[in-house]
C-alpha cells in the first residue's frame, strides 16, 4: 500500500493543533501516526480561549491530494473525513 499524506486537526481543552502526517491509509496506521507525532512534542498548539466549548474534544483528518483539500467528505464514527472523488 502506498503512503498518503493526511492533514490532522485537533481541538481539545480550548487548544487547536493543525499538522500533516504521512502513513498508509488504514484507521490503525493513521491513529498510530497521530500518536507518534504527538509524542515528538514539536506540534504548535494555539490557545482558542472560550471560543471552543471545553466539553467538546475532537480530532479530524483528511487526505491531502496535490496540496489541495478534498472535495467530498463522509462522517465516520462522528468524525467527518475525506473520501475519494
The Cα 76–Cα 82 span in angstroms is: 10
The Cα 71–Cα 63 span in angstroms is: 10
The Cα 85–Cα 69 span in angstroms is: 11
Q: How much is the mean pLDDT over the chain?
A: 76
Please name which of 25, 16, 24 lies closest in space to residue 58, comparing C-alpha atoms. 16
pLDDT value at residue 58: 66
Look at residue 41 and tell me whether its pLDDT is greater than 80. Answer: yes
**pTM score over 0.85:** no
For 58-72, b/e burial (b = at least 16 CB within 10 A) is eebbbbbeeeeeeee
The DSSP symbol for 25 reads S
Model confidence band, residue 68 (pLDDT cutoffs 50, 70, 90): low
Which of 1-15, 19-33, 51-65 shows the lowest mean pLDDT across its residues? 51-65
Helix (H, G, I), strand (E, B) or coil at 14: coil
Amino acid at each position: 500500500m502506498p503512503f498518503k499524506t493526511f492533514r490532522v486537526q485537533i481541538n481539545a481543552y480550548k487548544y487547536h493543533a493543525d499538522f500533516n502526517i504521512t502513513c498508509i491509509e488504514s484507521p490503525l496506521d493513521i491513529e498510530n501516526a497521530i500518536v507518534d507525532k504527538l509524542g515528538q512534542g514539536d506540534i504548535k498548539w494555539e490557545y482558542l480561549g472560550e471560543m471552543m466549548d471545553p466539553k467538546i474534544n475532537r480530532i479530524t483528518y483528511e487526505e491531502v491530494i496535490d496540496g489541495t483539500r478534498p472535495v467530498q467528505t463522509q462522517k465516520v464514527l462522528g468524525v467527518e473525513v475525506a473520501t475519494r472523488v
